[in-house]
Amino acid sequence: MKKAIIVFTKVPKVGVCKTRLTEARGGILTPEEANAFYEACILDVIDVCLSVEEEDIWICYNQDGDRSYLDSILTQVKYPLRIAGVFSDQGGSFDDCMQYATDFILKSGSDGRLADAVLISGGDLPTLQPYILREALNKLEKLSLTESGQKGAIREVRGSDGMLIGASLVEAACQEGGFSLVGLTCTTNFNFNDVFYNLEGITALDMLVTKAAKDEIPFGYVEMVPDVDIPVDLASQLPVLQGIALAAKNDPEVIVPQRTISLLDELGLKSHALPPVRETV
């Protein structure tokens, strides 16, 4: 089964990216610092994805993003020539943009598809590691080969190995009922309508699970990968990032998000736990 990874991201722009981290919205960073943090995250995430050499890596950016600026920063990743392609979404809601990115690669299983399965990653996941991506991709393929996966396929499509591609869906959760990774095969009866935006107030992860259960799609999950949207997210990441840096000294499979760590060090950010309040008599 041919698989692809999409890094789904905005093009970094001051005043547009990670605004909930800024002082104007109750955060701790200036707009310039928030944007620099986001840019560092994106490049670190892309490097992690590019380390999965057996899969094609694609970049999908926001329609109104500055393509020339995106191209300029992509030269900074470790293996830029491994990027299979860069394309923009077509605007609309987040649901619409995710669906477009999926369709761009899978093309409903037609002969012109660019992969048999796709895994979509956010760009603001500084603790993402290659083993998580590989596990998600492997689960997509294994679940598609199950009896339920083969039965649930909405069309007959064979991979380059001649095997029928069954249905499957996989995710990694993030905070507050969301998800940071999502993958599916080209024969999976799933779309992103109402996943992120719905009138019932259902969280994205709940909607993903509900849709998978309703259509009996073989479903897999991998380790949670938190994103960074608000100050408490950032504070939670700081000790984890230091742990990753330490682990990498003895584990060559660990990739250190060096740009993100360097920026946070430059900003002088540290996480602190408030001491317990002592009761007085």
Predicted local distance difference test score (pLDDT) of residue 279: 67
Structure tokens at 136: 């998600």
What pairs with residue 4 in β-bridges?
A: 56, 118
> Residue 58 to residues 7, 9, 83, 106, 137: CA-CA distances in angstroms?
6, 11, 6, 12, 15
Q: How high is the mean pLDDT in each 10-residue block of the chain (281 residues)? A: 96 96 93 97 98 95 97 97 97 95 96 96 96 98 97 94 95 94 97 88 94 96 96 94 97 97 93 73 58
Question: CA dist 224 to 61, 106, 134, Å?
Answer: 23, 25, 14
**Domain 3-267 = CATH 1.20.1540.10:** no
Which three-class secondary structure state does DSSP give residue 75?
A: coil
Residues in contact with 207: Cβ distance below 8 Å, sequence separation at least 6, in sequence order: 194, 195, 198
Given this model, what pLDDT does residue 123 score?
95
Strand order in the sheet with 179-185: 83-88, 56-61, 3-9, 117-122, 179-185, 169-173, 219-222
Q: CA 201 from chain center: how many Å?
A: 22
CA distance 241 to 68: 30
Q: In whole angstroms, what is the distance from residue 195 CA to residue 179 CA?
A: 11
pTM of the entire structure? 0.94
Q: Are 239 and 272 in contact (CB under 8 A)?
A: no
